[in-house]
Amino acid sequence: MINRRDLVLGSALALAANGATAAQAHHTSKYKNFKVEAKYEPQTVRYSMSYTAGTIVVDPKNHFLYLIERWGRARRYDVGVGKAGLAFKGVASIERKAEWPRWTPTRNMIRREPGKYAKYADGVAGGINNPLGARALYLYKNGRDTYYRIHGTTQPDSIGRSVSNGCIRMVNDHVIDLYNRVPLGTQVVVL
């Protein structure tokens, strides 16, 4: 359980490590001045569940992603997750990583909302207007692409909500931080 002292200390350390709370990664003009509240910056927290250091644990119910650092501690990020019925659940591994990745909606996304996604059936080049944002970590299970990703977003105000088509989205600066910390083969557990 997190006590007030650890929470305050963790927040202070996160601020010191990250400097200003303004999101620095490229964002669309709508969000160019987007600021992350200090309490939502990545921070080291107590984490009592037993996972090997380096494992990513996603808690969709509470909108957190944890990168396990050592027993009892993890780096916590706030995330946006999939709408009810669209989210991945289980264990996967990161088998591909991309900077400013290309995005193509899945066939299911186009089928569910053709007016919104059919025009992107050929894909969208990487860049600030791409829905995958600055980085993407591709989740595979048993050697097969799950079509679920941990990625940045063009809508940083969606963090902390269940609004995506199933992927785990992060503020661009935060996904860049995570991307730089995890290698290919990293295990991801989505509760």
**Which amino acids are annotated catalytic?**
151, 167
Residue type present at position 118 = A
Parallel, antiparallel or unpaired: strands 135-141 and 144-151: antiparallel
Residues 9, 14, 17, 22: is their CA dihedral positive or negative?
A: negative
40: three-class secondary structure by DSSP: helix
Residue 156 makes CB contacts below 8 A (sequence gap 6+) with 23, 27, 31, 34, 36, 171, 172
CA distances 16 to 2, 70, 115, 121, Å, are 20, 21, 45, 43
Q: Quick check: 109 and 165 in contact, CB under 8 A?
A: yes
CA distance 148 to 45: 26
Contacts by 120-126, CB closer than 8 A, 24 or more apart: 126/98, 126/99, 126/100, 126/101, 126/102
